[in-house]
Amino acid sequence: MSIADITAGKSQVGSDGLRAQLDAMQAANQRDGAPDRARRLDWLGRIGAMVKQHQAAIIAAVDADFGGRSRQETLLAEIFTTLSSIRHAKGQLAKWMHPRRRAMDLSFLPARARLLPQPLGVVGVISPWNYPLFLALSPLVGAVAAGNRAMVKPSEFTPRTSALLAEMMAQYFAADEVAVVQGGREVGAAFANLPFDHLLYTGSTNVGRKVMAAAAANLTPVTLELGGKSPAIIGPEAAMDAAVTSIVRGKLFNAGQTCVAPDYVLVPKDQVGVFVEKALAVAAKFYPNVADNSDYSAIINQAQYDRLRAMVAEAEAQGAQALAAGSGGGRKMPLTMLLETKDSMAVRRQEIFGPLLPVIPYEDLGAAIAHVNGGDRPLALYVYDRNRGNVDRVLAETISGGAMVNDCLLHAGVENLPFGGVGASGMGQYHGRDGFETFSRLKPVMYQSRLNGIWLLHPPYGARAKAMIKLLLKR
């Protein structure tokens, strides 16, 4: 399938047919009931086969949408991560679907308690542009593993990838199993207003508020995967070379267009110069020629590029120093360190989502922790230190969606760890078993024993019942 074929294809579901599509899925769900394990494995297998068969087309579409996306980054962050999540779900599905025992209070014995995982029905997924395949399919893996049908609304800012996703899904799934909806803001708003059984949104905090408000009209439960300003803290006893290498690698992966990328770095006051010098050197080593380097990804579009340039210009106008690791070209922007920034600057107030890195000095570890706690709770927090006490203090005294010690980004790819934000960085979580549970209802069930003592509490409440109640109150 060529890029021309993809862009010429029509949307599987137009904006006028959104409610009709949902109705058809709900009717199919009522007709067929909860799918068994074999059918869920089949669905997961189809997603995996789809990605493998169309790998070359996926890479080409993402590259075209970005105007230059590193092939290796697409393989790692889109293809590998998606296939990894599918493999994990297939291997663990039997365990996830099994009823779970819950202990029964002594007062209710010999009754038993269980949690029965059941699919919710039809779920919606709204995915962003920065990882247009993985962030559409990773929630879908959890949704179908849990036995749901799903509608996916990918970003209009990656039209070729979105069109390809719609074409592929139509080949591998019936329209009442999984459907892809294409369109701009109007379609996105209409999608968020549908009465799904669950809605997962990945994107900006501002749009997340609107999605939540729309879902509230239908009492639709939501999972919001947002962003924010994820800090990296260089502790007083950090291994500086390893920390710098990790932060530069994480910051420049996908040119910083990653929700869990280090947004800014807190460095001991007397080590700022060392950090900056090493970071610029590492960036130049990784990407000696940014403009013509196929390993380095472009900023997604001109509007985003202009936004980043405006951030730098505003910071410099207010007295900040900008130090770039070489020069860029087109929409490829090199690592740009920003020193002497102020709280009033956009680079300090807004999520950057690009290769700009404010470096903020601190006097002691307590001051660094206070700086983090003074802002919204971040999606991720990174602490670099070889002293276990320092690490434990940072982890204990800060709150974030997730955290990683002595590295960055990688925790988001671990299927056995839940992924999600807290406060302004989101609510709810998914990945692995946690994704299965997000898209399931763990129905609590109590099984009464044929032999039980409830008859001792039947009215009329005579001496026997009063004695039993007195005994229960003593426990």
**∠ CA(235), CA(237), CA(243), 5° rounding?**
65
User: Helices marked H in 155-271 — which ranges?
Assistant: 159-172, 185-192, 205-216, 240-252
In a domain, 399, yes or no: yes
Specify whether 242 is located in the same domain as 182. no
CA dist 56 and 158 (Å) reads: 16
CA dist 386 and 237 (Å) reads: 6
Specify whether 211 is located in the same domain as 242. no
Cβ-contact 146, 125 below 8 angstroms: no
> How much is the pLDDT for 446?
96
Domain containing 41: what range? 3-226+426-443
- Calculate the dihedral angle through the C-alpha atoms of 205, 137, 80, 253, rounding to the nearest 10 degrees: -20
> How much is the pLDDT for 15?
52
In the chain, which stretches have pLDDT less than 50?
A: 1-13
CA dist 51 and 76 (Å) reads: 13
> How much is the pLDDT for 327?
87
In a domain, 452, yes or no: no
Specify whether 291 is located in the same domain as 202. no
Amino acid at the residue 200: L
In a domain, 455, yes or no: no
- Which of the residues 78, 167, 225, 437 is marked catalytic? 225
CA dist 243 and 279 (Å) reads: 10
Specify whether 152 is located in the same domain as 12. yes
Length of the chain as a residue count: 475
- Which of the residues 73, 259, 351, 415 is marked catalytic? 259
Specify whether 146 is located in the same domain as 105. yes
Tally of domains in the chain? 2
Concerning whether 340 is annotated as a catalytic residue, the answer is: no
> How much is the pLDDT for 134?
97
Specify whether 436 is located in the same domain as 314. no
CATH number of residue 171's parent domain = 3.40.605.10
Residue with the two structure tokens 């925790």: 411
In a domain, 450, yes or no: no
Specify whether 169 is located in the same domain as 97. yes
Q: 245 is written with which tokens? A: 């290498």
CATH number of residue 329's parent domain = 3.40.309.10
Q: 3 is written with which tokens? A: 């890029």
> How much is the pLDDT for 19?
95
Burial of 229-263, coded b for 16+ CB within 10 Å and e otherwise, reads bbbbbbbbbbebeebbbbbbbbbbbbbbbbbbbbb
Radius of gyration (Cα) for the chain, nearest Å?
25
pLDDT in tens, 153-209: 999 999 999 999 999 999 999 999 999 999 999 999 999 999 999 999 999 999 999
Specify whether 247 is located in the same domain as 356. yes
> How much is the pLDDT for 3?
35
Specify whether 272 is located in the same domain as 316. yes
Concerning whether 408 is annotated as a catalytic residue, the answer is: no
Of 171, 182, 250, 177, the C-alpha closest to 413 is 250
Q: 205 is written with which tokens? A: 């905090």
User: Helices marked H in 173-331 — which ranges?
Assistant: 185-192, 205-216, 240-252, 272-286, 302-317
Specify whether 330 is located in the same domain as 219. no
Specify whether 319 is located in the same domain as 431. no
Amino acid at the residue 161: T
Specify whether 151 is located in the same domain as 33. yes
Question: Backbone phi, then psi, for 182, in 5-degree steps?
Answer: -105, 155
